[in-house]
Amino acid sequence: MKEKMSFLKGISILFLGCCSLLLLGRDHYLLGTSLIIFRWAIVLIGIIILYRIFKITTLKILRGVLFFVLLLLLVESLWYSFSQPALANVTEGVELEMMTYNVFFRNKNPLAVIRQITKRNPEILVLQEVTPKWKKTLSEQLSRVYPYNAIYIQDGTHGIACFSKYPILSDKLLLNSNQLPFAQVLDISIKDKRLQLFNVHLASPAVAVEHPDKFMELYKANYELRKTQLDEIMRLAKISRNKTDAQVLIGDLNTMSFEPLYRDLNAEWVNLYSEKGEGWGLNFPNLAKVQPFVTLDYIFIRGQLQAVGAEVISGGSSDHLPVTGRVMF
C-alpha cells in the first residue's frame, strides 16, 4: 500500500510538472503546439490520476493542486474561444466571393489554374508566388474580367497580387528584412462601404523540411519570423480597424491550425472555413500521389461581414489547392 501511494505521488508530481511547463510555455513554438495537440489527452490522464488518488487522505494537498491545474487547462482553452469576435448579422448588402490561390512559382501548366479561377469567377482574387511569367499569363487571361488590380512580380516565391471587380483605393506592401513582400494591404470600395484586405504570404518553413538534420533549428527560426510578420499585420489591422467597415486577412499563412500562432489569430478573427466550410479544409500539398493533409491557406474575417460559405477547390496544377469564401457585406 505504501509503495502504491509513493508511485501515485511520483506520477502526480511528474504530471503536474509537465502540465506547468506546457502552460508556462503555451506561446512557445514547440511547447505551445504540444499543448494544443495533446490537451484533451492530458486532461484525460489528469482525471484518471485524480480518481486514483481521490481517497488517499495524505495526498489531499496534491489532489487540490492537480484539480486546479486541470481547471487551468480548461480555462486556458476556453479563453481563446470566447475572445473570438462576433460577426455582424448582415441582412442586406452585396454578396462577395473571395479566392486565395498560391499559384506556385514553378507551375508548368498555368492554364489549369486559370480555368479554376474563371470557373469560380470570384469578385476578389488574391494570389501568391506571382512571377514575371505568371503576370503575363494573368494579364492576358484576367484583365477583361477584373478592371482593378495590384500586381507585384518577383522571381521566386515573393510575388503577390490582387484582382478585383471593385475599385482598389489604395495598396501597399509589407516587406521583410530582404525588402521582399510578405503581405499586401489594400483598401477596396464596395458600393458605399470600405473593405480592408490583407493578402498574406508568410515565410515558408520549407527550408526546415528540406534540411532534416537541422529541422528544429530552422523551424524555430521560421516560426519566429512568421510571428514577427504576423505581429506587424495585426498591428496595422488594429490601427485601421475603426477606419473601415470590415477587414479580411487572406492568403498563404504557412501556419497549421495546431500552432500557437493560429490560436492567437483565431482569437481575434473568424476563420470563414471554420464558420461555414464543410469537411477538414485541407489544401496542401496537392500532388499526383499525395492527398492534401494540412491547411496552409485561410480566409479570416471580422467587422460588418456575415459568413455565407467556404470551400476548398480540388484540382489545378499548383502545389496548393485554392480556398474560396463567400460573405455578405
User: 244: Cβ–Cβ under 8 A, 6 or more apart, which residues?
Assistant: 187, 194, 195, 196, 303
pLDDT, tens digit, 9 for 90 and up, residues 136-150: 999 899 989 999 999
Question: Which three cell numbers mark 60?
Answer: 489531499
Got the DSSP string for 73-142? Answer: HHHHHHHHHHTSPPPP---SS-EEEEEEEE--TT-S-HHHHHHHHHHH--SEEEEES--HHHHHHHHHHH
Please give the model's pTM, rounded to 2 decimal places: 0.93
Per-residue cell: 167: 475599385
Rounded CA-CA distance 279/91 in Å is: 26
pLDDT at 85: 85
Angle subtended by helix axes 2-24 and 60-82, to nearest 10: 30
Say yes or no to pLDDT of 2 above 90: no
Q: Does residue 158 register a pLDDT over 80?
A: yes
Q: Which residues contact 304 (CB under 8 A, 6 or more apart)?
A: 88, 90, 193, 245, 246, 329
**CB-CB contact of 200 with 252 (8 Å):** yes
| pLDDT recorded at residue 1 | 63
Q: What is the DSSP string of 242-290?
A: GGSSEEEEEEE----TTSHHHHHHHHHSEEHHHHHB-S----B---SS-
Q: Which residues of 159-188 are buried (b: 16+ CB within 10 A; e: fewer)?
A: bbbbbbbbebeebebbebeeebbbbbbbbb
CB environment 201-220: b (16+ within 10 A), e (fewer): bbbbbeebeeeeeeeeebbe
Instruction: Tell me whether the omega of the peptide bond preceding residue 322 falls within 30 degrees of 0, making it cis.
Output: no
The three cell numbers locating residue 327: 460573405
Query: Which of 72-86, 122-136, 254-268, 275-289 comes out lowest in average pLDDT?
Result: 72-86
Confidence of residue 280 (pLDDT cuts 50, 70, 90): very high
The answer to whether residue 229 scores a pLDDT higher than 80 is yes
- The 10s digit of each residue's pLDDT in 162-198 is 999 999 999 999 999 999 999 999 999 999 999 999 9
